[in-house]
Structure 1
Amino acid sequence: MRKIIYLLLFLFANSLLYSQALPDISINETFKQTSLSKVIRILKNKYDVKIAYDDALVTGITIDGQFTNKSLSAFLDEILPSKGINYQVLNGKIILTPGQINIDLQTPSLFDLTVFGMIQDAQTGEMLPNALIRVAGENRGTISNKDGFFSLSQVPTDTSTIEVTYLGYKKNTVKLDPNKSKQTLRISMAENTVDLAEFTVVDLRSDNTIQYGEETSQISIDPNSLSSLPSLGELDIFRSLQLLPGISGTDETSSELSIRNSPSSQNLVLLDGFTIYRLDHFFGVFSAINPDAVRDIQVYKGGFGSKYGGRISGVVDITGKSGNFNKPEYSFGINLLSARMSINAPLNQGKGAIHFSTRRAYTDVIRSSLFKKLYKNYRENSNQVDDQGNDNSLRPNFHFYDVNLKTTYNVSKRDIASFSLYWGRDELYTDFDQITGSGTSMITENTDEIAEWGNLGIGGIWSRNWSKNYYSSFQVAYSGHNFDYLFESEERNENSQVTNTYSATRLNDVSDFQINYKNELKYKERHQLDFGLNVSTITTINDVTIDEQIQLPLGEREQSGGIFALYASDELRINKKTRLNAGFRYTATNLTDKNYFGRRLGLTYQLTPSIKLKFSNGQYYQLARQVLYDDPRSNLQDGWNLACNTAFGALNSEHLIGGVNYSKNGFMVDMEYYQKNVSGLVEFTVSHMLDQSTPNDTQPLVTESVGEEKIRGLDVLIQKKIGPYHGWLSYTRSKSSSIYPQINDGQSIPSRLDQRNEAKFVHVLEFQKFNVSATFLYGSGRPFFKPELNFIRDNGGTVINYEILNLNKTVERLPTYHRLDISAALKFENEDVRGDFGISILNAYNHKNIQNRRLNVSAIERAINNGEEPSELYRDIVLLDFTPSIFLNLYF
């Protein structure tokens, strides 16, 4: 009876709506396979017609035909009914509605069944990984795999309603049809775009920008939804991740993805299955991954499952864009440092697709004021160049570029083949003269600095859906990284005689060839089995030389070995509220004389429809790691090394995590307590001791320090969306301490990344024609380690030399960090192009933030040479001050 009343009310409302007249307009247009959404834009912009519609209703529909002097009503009557669309008129606006009302009165014929299907982008045809699929009204569900396929078991009946959500897309619901219950579902998702029309339907819009996944500490984030946040001109993948709780955002570099007080090198970063070893461009200013190439990001802050291995802290799993299977589309963007473009196009009439994107900095051609500021910050972060010289003498030749290419082809209904390529490179060359003093005390310093670094990733995947319960993929991949650095400095007096020289070289290469075989198997409705293997051959080359006299003891210059890993896990749905995931990862290698067995355990319990409890525990090992060089006189970067029996073994970490998630009506609160115990840490600590045979000289003394670390913390996220506003507050309270028997006599000291408090406020207001945003970051001071300085004096008490005793450290805290960034962008659109133009301002109130302090080697030695008492022992490494940037993005 209630359905009949609703139907009568709907028909009555229709009669009122249809009684209103359409505007007297003549349409003169020719359309050839033109998308209905573009036709609507033409009506709006060219004919000033006001139309309201849901994107999902018009997505994928094209219009053909030549229309001459057609009235608006005749035009709409001709193009819409055949597409299953009706229209109504209300207050001068045309409202598009579905063509008919289907009231399903069928009774179910099947019960407790498994539904199999695929999730894809409605506009491009791309498969969507990690979409959440569940029965409407229930909290339990499943997620789509890397190729967008899913298998949802224990569906009550063949008339149930399936609900699909995916970050950045409108929620979609599909009612099962008993006549088609055994067919594969193909569910299309429409993007959450803000229409520039005067009226926009947003009922199905997702409430949250950040979504927690099925596993503990798993976060899904839609990078496109963060494109309006302040930046240096373009969306930055890793800077966006730094706004999440538990990921540090107070060092202002994209290269440092510090997850829960652990260094970036302890995180596994994957792009389409191959490893990215270096995460930055331009010394950390930009991340290595072009945002135009990214489809999906999954972040695991700890407690990750057995399918991931080789790292002990976190995982960032990035899926690249496949391209557009339906029609070509293009984009272009430019800012004060770089330009980028992308192409997405179909192959072989939509059976495949290709994505191509590239970026290049033009800083070797145009040295903007922003570039000069960023380069000065990098230069001041170095201990190898005196920062008191004339900045105008620095004329660096620097640029970076990267290329992403991905092709995907549907070989059959069951088979998908894809190929991915990533290539990124930075090149720096600096040659300058610096003059200090005058007359007989004039010193000329000539400096040469050459640096080249980059990543190469290549991968091919063949995946197959054998049945609705079994899926497998086979991948062959290569990951490469190289860093080649040369620094030479020569000082001459007023007579052009060489008085001092300094040189440093650093070479680090990684070659990683891998084969991955992965399987997903549904077993007896309640079991989801994941199992597979990884075989890799990895080689590293290391060479560090200072003043052509010392090569840091890194073991062998070249290391290589094989790693074999076997993993398996079972996701058991104990009941409708409880999910248990238990597994293991076994690793065998010829690098060490040990093999490694790591357990995995995860448990979630749906206490109420809004409250989920979660727990995880795991043991993790890492064979390829970066070793820290702690030398107060230089800033040589860390390099990748392999575990071995002679120098150092594998890193080992134990994770224990417990938390609770509350989510209702677009409001979410998530809290997680975590513990990490890490062992096998290695530092090469460099002291500079007086040479007794030549008292005027000092010699480096390198000590290998092996230690352990304890990390404890609490992550909190509060998120809400209200109308055009969405934002969140993230807060982390943590403490990490380390013990090295050789440092400070084995006493417990704060870890280098220890930061007790960090808070981040993110606010975005998104309107039809513009958006504004602001982020505020606060962080308590990190530790600063002062080595012991021993000044050598002559009989008259004058300082003639000094020693650096780096194994004895005094721990101090740096000042509190805080920064406000703001951004505003104007949106525009016509029938051919859409885009945005805007400005971002970093550090809007120009607060002086100190990243670190360094021993002021140049000032100390200058004072000693002049017979003065050294006073400026340390200098601050200051981060960005007030920094504006503008940007332009176009989409065709």
Structure 2
Amino acid sequence: MMRTLLLAFLGLTCLTPLQAQEFPQGKIDKFLCCDLDVAFTKLAQLTELTFAYDTAAFQSIRYTSHPKNKTITEILDRICKDHKLKYFMDQEGVVHVVDKWTDISQISLAQSQDYEGDASRNEFTLTGRVRDTETFESLPYVTVRIKGVPQGTSTNVDGYFTLLDVPSDTSTLIFTYIGYERLEVRLSPEVDIDHFYVELKSAELNLSQVTITAEKEELLQVSGDQISIVKMSPAKLNSLPNLGEKDILRAFQLMPGVSSANEHSSGLYVRGGTPDQVLVLYDGFTVYNVEHMFGFFSAFNSNTIKDVQMYKGGFDARYGGRLSSVVEITGKEGDQKAFNFAGDISLMSVNGFVEFPMGEKWTAIVGGRRSWKSPIYQKIFDQFAEESDDPTAGFGRGFGRNTTQETESFFYDVNAKVTYRPSEDDVVAWSFYKGKDNLDNSIAPNTGGFGGRFGENFNLNIETTDLTNWGNTGASLKWSKKFSDTFYLNSLLSYSNYFSLRDRSTSGALMGIDGEQNDISRGVTEDNNLLDLTGKVDLIYQFSPQQQLEMGVQAIHNDIDYTYQQNDSITVIDRSTQGETYTAYLQDRIHLFGEQLTLVPGIRYNFFSETAGSYWEPRMNFLWQATKRLKIKGGTGQYYQFARRVTREDITQGSRDFWVLSDGDQLPVSSSWQYILGASYETSDFLMDIEAFYKDLQNVTEYSLRFETTRTSIDYSENFFTGSGQAKGVEFLLQKKLGNLKGWLGYTLSQVSHNIPAFGNYDFYAAHDVTHEFNTVGTYRWKNWEFGATWIYATGRPYTAPEGGYELDLLDGTTADYLNVSIKNGNRLPAYHRLDLSATHHFTLGEHAPCTLGFSVFNLYNRSNVWYNEYEVVEGEVIETPIYYLGITPNVNLTFKLR
């Protein structure tokens, strides 16, 4: 009844498909109202037709019309219109009456499973679309294979696939997709291949039965068809321990090759790269900052995400502009069947989304999330506030008296997506994202006048501004079209804006006993703003089962501003740079020796207006199926990055990063060559994977104020220092994929070094270098419970430490610290490790509303992991104070859905 009411609310109409056989044309003189079950029984008696329907459901629906002198089709049309149903007659003359949203092709597929006759077609082309059986959402990157032969493919981002030279129309197809049940479909001559749809069921707990139907679900999937690709199921993240709520980027940090010892950053440090070297795409537009709450949360609401895949290296020629890796996120389209809503609430944030169809061809989804000041949220904030650099240094935080501190801190994000399918071959989608963080930790005097006492000879009246804002806004408009079985186009226009504002300054006055007033203005202000306008077209043409050609063009306009001021009077950096990048790429996906060997050669060309230079990026990947279970893989390629983040070195208060655009002068275009070689051995239950990597880095840049450049006048814009670097390592993965107990063990051995001549003529470890990193992840299912555990160990990161210092007295009576530092990153923090646990209970409210209640403990044994060290000079001696990450932190999370 609930489904019927929802369908009626949405104003759906009846659809009568073409019948396989003819209906009787005679008219029925009189037909009285009754329950639908009885109505179809009477119609069967009057017409001698056989009806198939859900008897239990139709017994609860009352048919209230009184048709007279109507044909059977007129009566069925009226029943369908009144009760949001549809009907069709199969090859055997049986009339099926089903829910409006039931896919008739699925019924014919189910019937074809018992077909025992001969094939009627051989070596034919089959195209189709794969979608979710509950929502009708298209499923991207589903693996499609023909049973018994090596031939296969995968769906594109819109769920379409093409199989050329299918052996016969009795072949069996195998569909696999992370987070969904594996499906085998046996074709038959009766299947309509012109409108071929396949529906996959989400691998979730079946609470209405004693048995569990999701024993074969996977949280993690390492692609066996391409190198260095990892996929995760957003719907399965509840089984992992989490700090606040399920977080897709935090989950990727548990993979080998991706550093996880970064509580303060949800950005990805992949194979020696930094977060800015990761291209993050959300429905096609670039997201330049992926962090909320000082990095403890990622910027993405996992409830609105349909698919995520990460390329840890060796990515195709269709991607560019980054040196390290790619994360491609596909947002949900919205339920095409009925209205639905869901929500999460935890001890740190609340979020929810609604999804609904808008007629036959439109769907929409809207989601939102916001933090709230719980004790756990406040604990994180207090930790950050304690480490926050203090613009009142020299005066004492709060000045001891007559001040008030009102702290305000929150984050929010909003997602929206509207999808329109004007035809079976066209998809138009508009996607929007906006997220923002706000931190106001300012201090103001309680009263006017000079009420605060400072030292013996001064009175103090001072106000501190401590305001930090940052966020992203992005949108994309996409049109995709399948022109033929072998030719597909995807075009996109996108907008992205990142901003970061930081004002930590002190203003006021000191008044001496003699009545002389000294105005004070100290502190730091930063303003970073980035604009990205992009247009691109991608084309895919499949020549044959052995060859697929991919090509495209792209144009990007970047406008990046950065201003950094000290003491309200010294402008240290003031950059405003604009530039265009024009790109074209071509790559070929070639299968040789019966798909035993796959080669993906490609070339990407860039023209960058700021340097008026051409940048060629050759790429080559290969995959060799050595045996049924063993695969050898590898790749190499060149990569350029034009917009990037530069580290601004700050020894005493922690280094900061800011986005800039290369200019060919102070900031040359950065580049890297990558080399990857690996192997994987896979059985039905286990996967063993090993990959070695090497990156040659050019034009690595940092900014520092500890050197005086040679110049006739002060120009701090010259303090960009450039050098080279390398990243190398090997990573291991052992995964148990199936069963009640699942998980993986990961280990990474790596080294990242830079050589910037300004810091000395030597190689030094990069600030994000981690020599050894070990991750273990396990989940266990028992009845309607899921238990999860993660343990992380990583050797300490390098840092630069002061070796000595001295104080200088300033004119206003305060002092300033000056330090002599060690060699660049010549010291190591202590090793990092922690244990996280979780327990998740699945249940339903009523008959159809699934819910989960999750409990988690972060850093169970309360390890005191050092974030970084702060330094101050006391009587010429350097005092070191460690700043720690979070200690033991519990959390509770409730998730609910309408259906």
TM-score, normalized by the shorter chain, greater than 0.5: yes
Deviation at 1:476, TM superposition (A): 1.0
Deviation at 1:851, TM superposition (A): 2.0
Question: SS at 2:328's partner residue?
Answer: strand
Q: Distance in 2 between matches of 1:512 and 1:647?
A: 22
1:877/1:82 CA distance change after superposition, 3 Å? farther
**Bigger mean CA offset, 172-181 vs 710-719:** 172-181
**2:213 paired with 1:220:** no
**2:634 paired with 1:615:** yes
Question: What is the aligned partner in structure 1 of residue 10 from structure 2?
Answer: none
**2:791 paired with 1:776:** yes
Deviation at 1:773, TM superposition (A): 1.1
C-alpha root-mean-square deviation of aligned residues, in Å?
3.2
Q: Distance in 1 between matches of 2:97 and 2:593?
A: 42
Aligned counterparts, 1:233-244, within 5 A: 233-244=244-255
Which of 655, 671, 674 pairs up with 1:652?
671
Question: SS at 1:183's partner residue?
Answer: helix
**2:834 paired with 1:819:** yes
Question: What is the aligned partner in structure 1 of residue 778 from structure 2?
Answer: 763
Alpha carbons 1:31, 1:64 under 8 Å: kept: no
Deviation at 1:490, TM superposition (A): 4.9
Deviation at 1:619, TM superposition (A): 0.3
Question: What is the aligned partner in structure 2 of residue 575 from structure 1?
Answer: 593
Alpha carbons 2:392, 2:464 under 8 Å: kept: no
Which of 599, 610, 617 pairs up with 1:591?
610
Question: SS at 2:758's partner residue?
Answer: coil
Q: Distance in 2 between matches of 1:483 and 1:655?
A: 32
Q: Distance in 2 between matches of 1:455 and 1:322?
A: 21
Tell me the alpha carbon deviations over residues 574-632 of structure 1, each in whole angstroms, 9 at most, x when there is no partner. 12211000011100121113110001101001111111110111100010011110022
Which of 335, 349, 352 pairs up with 2:362?
352
Q: Distance in 2 between matches of 1:471 and 1:270?
A: 21
Aligned counterparts, 1:340-419, within 5 A: 340-349=351-360, 351-363=361-373, 368-384=374-390, 395-419=406-430
1:552/1:394 CA distance change after superposition, 3 Å? same
Q: Distance in 1 between matches of 2:429 and 2:807?
A: 65
Q: Distance in 2 between matches of 1:826 and 1:518?
A: 44
**Bigger mean CA offset, 662-671 vs 149-158:** 149-158
Alpha carbons 1:529, 1:569 under 8 Å: kept: yes
Alpha carbons 1:431, 1:447 under 8 Å: kept: yes
Question: SS at 2:769's partner residue?
Answer: coil
Question: SS at 2:161's partner residue?
Answer: strand
Tell me the alpha carbon deviations over residues 116-137 of structure 1, each in whole angstroms, 9 at most, x when there is no partner. 1111000000000011001124
Question: SS at 1:686's partner residue?
Answer: coil
Q: Distance in 2 between matches of 1:31 and 1:487?
A: 55
Question: What is the aligned partner in structure 1 of residue 522 from structure 2?
Answer: 502
Alpha carbons 1:585, 1:597 under 8 Å: kept: yes
Question: What is the aligned partner in structure 2 of residue 449 from structure 1?
Answer: 466
Q: Distance in 2 between matches of 1:871 and 1:495?
A: 31
Deviation at 1:516, TM superposition (A): 1.0
Which of 65, 81, 84 pairs up with 2:58?
65
Q: Distance in 1 between matches of 2:605 and 2:893?
A: 48
Question: What is the aligned partner in structure 2 of residue 106 from structure 1?
Answer: 117
Question: SS at 1:602's partner residue?
Answer: strand
Question: What is the aligned partner in structure 2 of residue 49 from structure 1?
Answer: none
Question: What is the aligned partner in structure 1 of residue 434 from structure 2?
Answer: 423
Alpha carbons 1:686, 1:702 under 8 Å: kept: no
Question: SS at 2:830's partner residue?
Answer: coil
**2:744 paired with 1:728:** yes
Q: Distance in 2 between matches of 1:403 and 1:588?
A: 35
**2:537 paired with 1:517:** yes
Question: SS at 2:423's partner residue?
Answer: coil
Question: What is the aligned partner in structure 1 of residue 500 from structure 2?
Answer: 483
Alpha carbons 1:237, 1:291 under 8 Å: kept: yes
Which of 871, 874, 877 pairs up with 1:870?
877
1:458/1:801 CA distance change after superposition, 3 Å? closer
Question: SS at 1:250's partner residue?
Answer: coil
Alpha carbons 1:656, 1:675 under 8 Å: kept: yes
Please give the TM-score of this superposition, normalised by the length of structure 1.
Answer: 0.83
Tell me the alpha carbon deviations over residues 81-102 of structure 1, each in whole angstroms, 9 at most, x when there is no partner. 99799xxxxxxxxxxxx99895
Q: Distance in 2 between matches of 1:485 and 1:393?
A: 21
Aligned counterparts, 1:675-686, within 5 A: 675-686=694-705
Letter in 2 for 1:240: A
**Bigger mean CA offset, 729-738 vs 698-707:** 698-707
Deviation at 1:499, TM superposition (A): 8.6
Question: SS at 1:292's partner residue?
Answer: helix
Q: Distance in 2 between matches of 1:768 and 1:352?
A: 38
Deviation at 1:359, TM superposition (A): 0.7
Aligned counterparts, 1:729-808, within 5 A: 729-743=745-759, 745-787=760-802, 789-791=804-806, 803-805=818-820, 808=823
Deviation at 1:527, TM superposition (A): 0.9
Aligned counterparts, 1:533-572, within 5 A: 533-553=553-573, 557-572=575-590
Deviation at 1:462, TM superposition (A): 0.8
1:246/1:477 CA distance change after superposition, 3 Å? same
Q: Distance in 2 between matches of 1:174 and 1:166?
A: 14
Q: Distance in 2 between matches of 1:786 and 1:332?
A: 46
1:812/1:386 CA distance change after superposition, 3 Å? farther
**2:4 paired with 1:32:** yes
Tell me the alpha carbon deviations over residues 268-318 of structure 1, each in whole angstroms, 9 at most, x when there is no partner. 000000000111111112111111110000100110001101111000000
**2:681 paired with 1:662:** yes
1:533/1:722 CA distance change after superposition, 3 Å? closer
Question: SS at 1:296's partner residue?
Answer: strand
1:881/1:528 CA distance change after superposition, 3 Å? same
Question: SS at 1:312's partner residue?
Answer: coil
Alpha carbons 2:463, 2:508 under 8 Å: kept: yes
Q: Distance in 2 between matches of 1:678 and 1:369?
A: 44
Q: Distance in 2 between matches of 1:348 and 1:810?
A: 60
1:258/1:578 CA distance change after superposition, 3 Å? same
**Bigger mean CA offset, 681-690 vs 670-679:** 681-690
Deviation at 1:791, TM superposition (A): 3.4
1:442/1:820 CA distance change after superposition, 3 Å? farther
**2:465 paired with 1:458:** no
Question: What is the aligned partner in structure 1 of residue 721 from structure 2?
Answer: 705
Tell me the alpha carbon deviations over residues 488-523 of structure 1, each in whole angstroms, 9 at most, x when there is no partner. 125877969669652111111111111110111101
**Bigger mean CA offset, 496-505 vs 126-135:** 496-505
**2:862 paired with 1:852:** no
Structure 1 gap segments, 5+ residues each: 1-28, 36-59, 70-80, 86-97, 691-697
Q: Distance in 1 between matches of 2:644 and 2:799?
A: 24
Deviation at 1:111, TM superposition (A): 3.4
Q: Distance in 2 between matches of 1:506 and 1:737?
A: 29
Aligned counterparts, 1:221-300, within 5 A: 221-300=232-311
Q: Distance in 1 between matches of 2:487 and 2:352?
A: 38
Question: What is the aligned partner in structure 1 of residue 77 from structure 2?
Answer: none
Deviation at 1:445, TM superposition (A): 6.6
1:746/1:549 CA distance change after superposition, 3 Å? farther
Tell me the alpha carbon deviations over residues 651-706 of structure 1, each in whole angstroms, 9 at most, x when there is no partner. 1011100111111122111111011111111111121889xxxxxxx999973211
Alpha carbons 2:408, 2:440 under 8 Å: kept: yes
Q: Distance in 2 between matches of 1:793 and 1:425?
A: 40
Alpha carbons 2:674, 2:693 under 8 Å: kept: yes
**Bigger mean CA offset, 211-220 vs 175-184:** 175-184
